[in-house]
Structure 1
């Protein structure tokens, strides 16, 4: 059921795209300068096939054209100009005009792009000289389809990088892991570095030129105590000398939830309930709660970029607007941002620059912590009940806790986030001597956030207090200054690069929370907290931390074949106690480019054949400020009828705490075959993290629950493979990129070797017991419980054991211990959430002016623990159920594994609700058409491409739940390590259909 007005309003962007096209068609031609002569010619490959869409540009300007269907081009130039011919997959060629009017060009396949520059920590390096494990993702991949964040755009694009949506809500975050989780209690999130700013917030995908993922210790040790979980380097776009270039990118997407659960209707529900309670009275409605809360979602995305400059001043300015109406009513996300980069060549020796980002994000949520998951309520609520009762009030659940229905929770509460972000960076680079550069940067960022929540009087949980509201304000600031020297010297047969520098960063966080209850009216929401008469206890806090670092690196190349890298970082931080504040994180790497040996050069088969070996140590600061200190919390009591405040100890001091440290060995090979037509990169790695920052349980008589200590070890081993191929390079082009990676996670040591059990289920699902275990020799976060063995049939031997089912049709569990009883000794590991391998594969096709992109992404071998299905299909009469309940055991339906409906059945963790979570997903398919050069020239355009695409169009999986890409309790920090592969009523992922246009002036 959709609101007609809302649907029309969401379609306003479609005519806007038409207006953009009409505007482009009305533009007059842009002059390219004084024409001296007309030049024309034909561009072909080495086989004589015409190349379509080759960019032909006058050097140092943006004036130019592209080749047509026959590889022909024509443009007016000055007789002294130089032409640049560039084409994806082919080496760029420069040709001087020298007064000629006819110039034919033959482009050769690019030999593995060995001269491509890769961004690494505190510098760049040619790909041919790279000794570390680095994956690169380019701009065109990042913007292949509309995404709210760069993390989402990176999913499936880089080997060894696993990205999972925490949920599908507009503006929701993503769980990112590089080569697995390195910790248990501490964060395993990688560090993001944006244009050199460590820990900076990410710019919009449209403003990103490239992303490099640094994975092995050789690449990440330059970031020392922050490099254990990988480093993701983000480089934003910058201006180039030449005429001003204007680009407009616009798209509009319609979205729907990727799936729905099949639930019982009113009649089926009544029959099910009647088996438990013969006196059950069916309601007079038949309500599809999913249909009432879902709607058609929409995404609008616009970006306008202006770039250009002279040889001395270059600029890039971009504004973006992204707006998403979620597929659940009253959920949405909006982002405004401005990115500006300026680079100035002040003199032959001095370069200075400025990077700015300003961003505003607005989010309205519906699945809130205070009200519970709207999705979960829609699943659970009785279908025979309507939205409102006879008195016009929202209906409440009848058969269990009296919670509000899903429509009430969707429409009534207000949960709104506003975040303002600003980041600025200034740099100066001065050449002290030939080959010796001094670079200094100053970076500052601030994030100001406000979350407001209001639960009105119309909702049952707050009915006795007439509504409640609160506002939380927070501010996070980061200041980073770095200065380093780079010395480069080329000798006759070798190259040397030395780097040495100093870095200092301070991070400050503060917050306050205020709230009130008992409102006279709901009209003001949380903007009128003064309208309540029962203020809640306010809360506030502030924390600071500093990190000071000395960095150094040596790169040496001998005979262009033997490469050596030594790196070290000496870090000190305020979060640890005296004597443990400082640590050094070194690494070393050796590479041998075997293809450049005399015995290989004559073969003509390999353009690149480089072996790499690296080993090093990286760290994880992993704890917040003041974690080494004894800490106290505020407490309140009543004495003689008066509230008295005091403090009570809550944490034990531990002055011995220090970094988690990860050692890593990496062995890799880079191979280029057939002049770069086939490029392969493979890596094997073995990592071990020791001195884990672990919350060690303390005995109850101590008065404390845990003590944070450096105890335990975790290991990760895996293989990564990336293959890029140019399958066809003629008039019809076909490129393929495949990446696949494995990772085996294992706990190597725990305190005293003991198992550690815990429960990750939703708080209202009681009685489960422990659902997961940390055990030496097993991966982190494996599922734990009983082995489900079907249902009891008439005449079966009953295995006794407390509250377990004993009647025909009851749940049957395996007696693992063999003692003839069901008890805690029969619990085993029942699932592993970690995949055997993950992969992504992209195929790009182009013919004439058409292009087609197919992107598949998937995960294989991982298990999912579904709390959603556990809650629905317990069949104890506490809520609605899925249609699997139609196959429940009855005396006339005994050939089934679904138990009988039985009131009072206990909840317990078992393999019944553990499923294979493997999937293959058609992540994106896009078909585009670029206007030919003759049309572009007529209207003064450099580019105009229109495209249609579909996201998450097909998903192949055996998972019986909503969607195999689950993220319940798997957000950032420590919870993202222990709680993987869990599913409970998360906001659904979506599939979408997009129309877009890219215009260049």
Structure 2
């Protein structure tokens, strides 16, 4: 009888996930009307024995709606718990674990797979734009194929170290974003309570990316494909050949008009396209789950001869080897090929950056064609003698090939019921080869008489990561305790080599035969290593589901710093109070959720150049008597006391849910003081003999503070129709609290051929990256100067009029000099905003996403170039000052040096219809006949309309304005020579089998 009873038992297993696809650890699985049950493990997996097929399993977890399922013949039951009406909950990934969102004490924003794939994106990071308060996302070079994406969380916190957040992909620290369709969820950790577990790399925020995993059940196959048509979102209204000739003849009466009328924008721009095809399959059994995908992506840019192609794959495997041991592997790889054209943001250096195609197609003379009467490429007839942009784009070569591979392995062992040990080992490598070639036909770009110029640069970056940690969970009366303790080691190495040659007998070999060049350029090579060792721990305690406590500490050691300051400790603490769970609010019909959060902590930033604290030597190449003499000279003095930049962060937040959480509101106030800024001290005497007359020191402080609002509403929700709204608003104000000796630091973001020394100033009490130049006061009408104004020496009627600043004694000198420069603009916006409305009617859905910023100036450096008198320009110059047209603010047509002034500083406020998407899910009657699980078709558009007063191509300019000196962190808001932003229409098809 006993044996018969045991044999009748049925083993049922599966996985329990939340409605955003994240596994739920600790979910209850019980047999209905009994006390028999179990809980899911760390990965949401469970196994339970039931008496017979009539047994009913009850799945439950706090904040989710209970679900009952009859076993029947199913031995594999996967369950998705939906958030309850009474208390909308979400499982979020935090560093080295996951928690209920209601138990999180820090500031964390989440983006799930549905939101990520609501609109097609070229890079998964783009899907974060406008989705999370306090997060700014921009392309590094407009719509350029393969251009990297910049992410900033709560402003810039450094001058010389990186302000980019730490990216963690499936636990691998320092990973790169996978394809959007491969991502299950993204968590953005913003305050010290959330990021301190990553210590010295958490000061700029942390982005946790979790990729999709297999689920126990039948094999699932998905095919997703998207095709896009792209065009430039905007163009400049430039002079035609007749207008240009008349303009130049006003400046130089001897100018002779060329024989043609060329619209260089029409010649260089084209309709671009993208194609993205992904195939994935997933499934699992009692012991093993798997997910694998392969993706092919190709983009043809809107500028001729620019394109990017990539193939990638992702594989996730999880195996339950024994009841206690689980093993898993995450493997990612990609191969990319990029064909580029020179732009200001790609670091073009020929002619001081003057050969970038984008600025050239604006300024090149329209009365010249592609070739002259002799069949040679035309050269600009005024200003800088540069090859025409069409010749540069079609004849020069700039190819980059990149291989990116990552493998992350883990083992999870349940030592006891409440104690788990996890060990991970990861390895990544990025190998890149860039080849450039300027043929002999490009006279000025390649260098007259050089016979062409070619270079090859090889780089290899590797990273090894090993992490080991213990997690202990226990119930103590009404409290729940979770302890985490671990050790981490990571080693990053970078190896670079570059070679080049000039004087080729033929252009046929491109950069593939450097040995055939008659003039071999001096090769360069470098190698660097960075090691980080860390110990970390975290305590989470919640009492009676009302009071929450989080304490975190991490000790980091980095080889980036000298022996006196290699190690630092980064602690944080946070408290949460679930006010809505108190008796006085528990049964409130209006307030369904109310939680107060407060945190304080310290995080660090060690992202400086390797060996920055050590004494170094540099190679110097000196031409003597026709030969190059190579010697080695001291480059930089050591600073054994150089230490981490440390951010002291305070965050106060409030989470509110009303009317059964139909309205959800989160408010956050933060204050970040980043101390010990690493700044180059150039005060050391030159006679010491160091090549770099500066050493790195900790001598500055930046403050960032702001307010964030996130509002989600379910406006209408019934059987056939729903309407939801997601809104976020954030503001960030930053300023320098202190700098080295209280002195200003001037920087230059302009191209070298501009011959401008200062475009930015770093000053105590001012925001990061403010513009430096002259205050424009209109056009000088001749005669007596208006009070407080002046012109440059020798100025005449029609010239630019500027503010004349008084000297220390209050005197005006009546002439404009560099002493009259001042702060003329601030690129930091007053606030940013994002709003998404999603409508669903039966099987049809419509999403509309607006994104924008208010305030924040843009320096239109393009106009600084175009209104200089030595290039083509916009039709605004037709209203230039003349003796008969004096009622204008545009100076007379005249050759004048390029000056940075408030004349070219414009309001960068904008609101943009960023995305709109219409989708249709075919009904089950159709998919069943086709033996498919689902079919979805959609059409969407990006960057359809932008409302702005900015006169340039796009007010949403990238972070890096040019190729001058200084730091990317401080070069915000400069618009010059960037690849244009694109407007696209996308067609998508998704099929699931």
TM-score between the two structures when normalised by the length of structure 1 = 0.89
How does 1:345-494 map onto structure 2 within 5 Å?
A: 345-368=320-343, 369-371=348-350, 372-461=355-444, 462=446, 463-494=448-479
How does 1:830-869 map onto structure 2 within 5 Å?
A: 830-869=824-863
Q: Distance in 1 between matches of 2:494 and 2:87?
A: 44
Q: Does 1:760 align with 2:749?
A: yes
Change (3 A) 1:307 1:800: closer
Change (3 A) 1:970 1:661: farther
Q: Distance in 2 between matches of 1:112 and 1:526?
A: 66
Q: Does 1:320 align with 2:320?
A: no
How does 1:839-918 map onto structure 2 within 5 Å?
A: 839-874=833-868, 876=869, 878-903=870-895, 905-918=896-909
Among 241, 250, 257, the residue aligned to 1:282: 257
Change (3 A) 1:723 1:399: same
Alpha-carbon deviation of 1:826? Answer: 2.8
Report how many residues are paired: 913
Residue of structure 1 in register with 2:531 after alignment: 546
Change (3 A) 1:955 1:805: farther
Alpha-carbon deviation of 1:775? Answer: 0.6
Alpha-carbon deviation of 1:109? Answer: 7.3
CA contact (8 A) 1:622 1:659 kept: no
Which whole-Å deviations, capped at 9, do the CAs of 1:937-956 have from their partners, x for residues lacking one?
11111110111111100111
Q: Distance in 2 between matches of 1:409 and 1:84?
A: 68
Q: Does 1:221 align with 2:196?
A: yes
Q: Distance in 1 between matches of 2:790 and 2:659?
A: 68
Q: Distance in 1 between matches of 2:209 and 2:86?
A: 23
Residue of structure 2 in register with 1:147 after alignment: 121
Q: Distance in 2 between matches of 1:349 and 1:432?
A: 7
Alpha-carbon deviation of 1:828? Answer: 2.0
Alpha-carbon deviation of 1:633? Answer: 1.1
Secondary structure of 1:537's aligned partner: strand
Q: Distance in 2 between matches of 1:647 and 1:770?
A: 31
Which whole-Å deviations, capped at 9, do the CAs of 1:269-304 have from their partners, x for residues lacking one?
111111111111111100000110000000001111
Secondary structure of 2:181's aligned partner: helix
Q: Distance in 1 between matches of 2:224 and 2:793?
A: 61
Alpha-carbon deviation of 1:816? Answer: 3.6
Secondary structure of 2:337's aligned partner: strand
Which segments of 5 or more consecutive residues in structure 1 lack a partner in the other structure?
1-58, 60-77, 100-106
How does 1:25-424 map onto structure 2 within 5 Å?
A: 91=65, 93-96=67-70, 110-111=84-85, 114-167=88-141, 168-368=143-343, 369-371=348-350, 372-424=355-407
CA contact (8 A) 1:713 1:749 kept: yes
Secondary structure of 1:410's aligned partner: helix
Among 819, 833, 858, the residue aligned to 2:812: 819
Secondary structure of 1:599's aligned partner: coil
Q: Distance in 2 between matches of 1:971 and 1:546?
A: 32
Q: Does 1:629 align with 2:614?
A: yes
Change (3 A) 1:887 1:639: closer
Residue of structure 2 in register with 1:998 after alignment: 990
Q: Distance in 2 between matches of 1:976 and 1:577?
A: 25
Which whole-Å deviations, capped at 9, do the CAs of 1:826-856 have from their partners, x for residues lacking one?
3221110001011111111000111001011
Alpha-carbon deviation of 1:446? Answer: 0.5
CA contact (8 A) 2:701 2:736 kept: yes
Change (3 A) 1:756 1:640: closer
Q: Distance in 2 between matches of 1:79 and 1:970?
A: 68
Q: Distance in 2 between matches of 1:112 and 1:616?
A: 33
Alpha-carbon deviation of 1:642? Answer: 6.2
Among 906, 911, 924, the residue aligned to 1:920: 911
Change (3 A) 1:381 1:661: same
Q: Distance in 2 between matches of 1:282 and 1:626?
A: 56
Change (3 A) 1:861 1:287: same
Alpha-carbon deviation of 1:148? Answer: 2.2
Which segments of 5 or more consecutive residues in structure 2 lack a partner in the other structure?
1-28, 30-51, 74-80
The alignment's C-alpha RMSD in Å is 2.3
Alpha-carbon deviation of 1:643? Answer: 4.8
Q: Distance in 1 between matches of 2:246 and 2:64?
A: 68
Q: Distance in 2 between matches of 1:528 and 1:641?
A: 25
Residue of structure 1 in register with 2:5 after alignment: none
Q: Distance in 2 between matches of 1:84 and 1:935?
A: 33
Residue of structure 2 in register with 1:35 after alignment: none
Which whole-Å deviations, capped at 9, do the CAs of 1:855-884 have from their partners, x for residues lacking one?
11111111001110111023x3x1111111
CA contact (8 A) 1:516 1:534 kept: yes
Residue of structure 1 in register with 2:941 after alignment: 950
Alpha-carbon deviation of 1:166? Answer: 1.5
Residue of structure 1 in register with 2:36 after alignment: none
TM-score between the two structures when normalised by the length of structure 2 = 0.89
Alpha-carbon deviation of 1:806? Answer: 2.5
Among 919, 924, 928, the residue aligned to 1:933: 924
Alpha-carbon deviation of 1:802? Answer: 7.6
Which whole-Å deviations, capped at 9, do the CAs of 1:147-202 have from their partners, x for residues lacking one?
22121121111111111222121111122111001011211111100011100122
CA contact (8 A) 1:343 1:353 kept: yes
Change (3 A) 1:663 1:749: same
Residue of structure 2 in register with 1:716 after alignment: 704
Q: Distance in 1 between matches of 2:791 and 2:519?
A: 46
Residues 928-937 or 292-301, more deviating: 928-937
Which whole-Å deviations, capped at 9, do the CAs of 1:663-714 have from their partners, x for residues lacking one?
0000001111111211111100000001111111234444442111011100
How does 1:589-628 map onto structure 2 within 5 Å?
A: 589-628=574-613
Alpha-carbon deviation of 1:804? Answer: 4.5
Q: Distance in 1 between matches of 2:750 and 2:388?
A: 22
CA contact (8 A) 1:712 1:751 kept: yes
Change (3 A) 1:97 1:313: closer
Change (3 A) 1:999 1:564: same
Q: Distance in 1 between matches of 2:758 and 2:623?
A: 37
Change (3 A) 1:857 1:91: farther
Which whole-Å deviations, capped at 9, do the CAs of 1:362-395 have from their partners, x for residues lacking one?
1110025145310111111100111110111110
CA contact (8 A) 1:339 1:357 kept: yes
Q: Distance in 1 between matches of 2:584 and 2:507?
A: 82
CA contact (8 A) 1:305 1:316 kept: yes
Q: Does 1:749 align with 2:738?
A: yes
Q: Distance in 1 between matches of 2:419 and 2:304?
A: 59
Alpha-carbon deviation of 1:530? Answer: 2.2
Alpha-carbon deviation of 1:207? Answer: 0.6
Secondary structure of 2:532's aligned partner: strand
Q: Distance in 1 between matches of 2:947 and 2:784?
A: 38
Alpha-carbon deviation of 1:323? Answer: 0.6
Which whole-Å deviations, capped at 9, do the CAs of 1:570-597 have from their partners, x for residues lacking one?
0111121112111100000000000000
CA contact (8 A) 1:275 1:901 kept: yes
Change (3 A) 1:469 1:142: same
Alpha-carbon deviation of 1:90? Answer: 9.2
CA contact (8 A) 2:577 2:595 kept: yes
Q: Distance in 1 between matches of 2:134 and 2:537?
A: 27
Q: Distance in 2 between matches of 1:454 and 1:612?
A: 57
Which whole-Å deviations, capped at 9, do the CAs of 1:301-328 have from their partners, x for residues lacking one?
1111101111211000011111100000
Residues 797-806 or 477-486, more deviating: 797-806
Q: Distance in 2 between matches of 1:331 and 1:85?
A: 54
Alpha-carbon deviation of 1:902? Answer: 1.6
Alpha-carbon deviation of 1:95? Answer: 4.2
Q: Distance in 2 between matches of 1:637 and 1:870?
A: 35
Q: Distance in 2 between matches of 1:968 and 1:282?
A: 39
Alpha-carbon deviation of 1:510? Answer: 0.2
